[in-house]
């Protein structure tokens, strides 16, 4: 990727504009999957939009709703409420979690994307940006058609209770075979989502 053209937006607005201007560019977030594919010769990247300086890594809570920036690292998410925190802590090892991002995880190809289950259980909203501008979609709609837009942030109501239970292989870097996320919302509704069951 040394000879690739890389655009480095410095704000969310610049990131959306850069992706809209070049929808075929590779969106670079943490790089844990893209760079390993490049290094192994499975993928080439001619043009990239790197989001590391776009200010999309904030995590904040207001009025009972938690918002996680698309560039927040999985390490920064480990202490969040269940099922998000325990699921993030279950991905890879400490080195990977320090680099991998929330947005990158939910957009990655299977068998990765561990955080998709918690998003479904939490009935999260995903704010996206791209060629069509900004839009917000529900987790189910987002996961049915993960497009080329950038994940600006994800938000959800803080649950009254939550849990995440994984079934993992013994090797540290192996993806989670099955993950079950459960949430009890403040109004008492219970939602359960399972990933990896195929």
Alpha-carbon distance values, 83 to 21, 124, 170, 181, 185 (Å):
36, 12, 22, 6, 12
CA distance 88 to 178: 14
Choose from 49-58, 154-163, 167-176 the range with maximum mean pLDDT.
Answer: 154-163
Confidence check: pLDDT of 29 > 70: yes
Beta strands in the chain (DSSP E): 5-7, 26-28, 47-50, 59-62, 65-69, 125-130, 133-138, 150-157, 161-168, 176-184, 190-195
Q: Of 119 and 46, which is predicted with more confidence?
A: 119
Confidence check: pLDDT of 35 > 80: no
Arithmetic mean of pLDDT, 14-23: 88
Entry pTM: 0.86
Confidence check: pLDDT of 171 > 70: no
Alpha-carbon distance values, 80 to 89, 106, 193 (Å):
10, 16, 18
């Amino acid at each position: 990727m040394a000879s690739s053209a890389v655009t480095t937006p410095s704000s969310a607005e610049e990131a959306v504009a850069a992706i809209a201007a070049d929808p075929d560019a590779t969106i670079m977030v943490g790089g844990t999957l893209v760079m390993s594919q490049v290094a192994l010769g499975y993928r080439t990247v001619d043009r990239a939009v790197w989001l590391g300086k776009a200010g999309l890594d904030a995590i904040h809570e207001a009025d009972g709703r938690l918002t996680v920036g698309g560039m927040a690292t999985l390490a920064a998410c480990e202490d969040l409420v269940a099922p998000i925190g325990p699921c993030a802590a279950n991905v890879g090892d400490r080195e990977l979690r320090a680099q991998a991002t929330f947005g990158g995880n939910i957009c990655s190809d299977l068998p990765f994307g561990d955080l998709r289950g918690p998003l479904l259980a939490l009935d999260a909203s995903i704010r996206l940006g791209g060629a069509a501008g900004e839009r917000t979609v529900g987790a189910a709609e987002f996961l049915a058609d993960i497009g080329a837009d950038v994940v600006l942030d994800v938000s959800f109501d803080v649950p009254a209770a939550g849990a995440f239970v994984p079934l993992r292989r013994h090797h540290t870097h192996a993806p989670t075979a099955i993950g079950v996320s459960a949430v009890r919302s403040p109004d008492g509704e219970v939602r359960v989502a399972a990933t990896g069951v195929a």
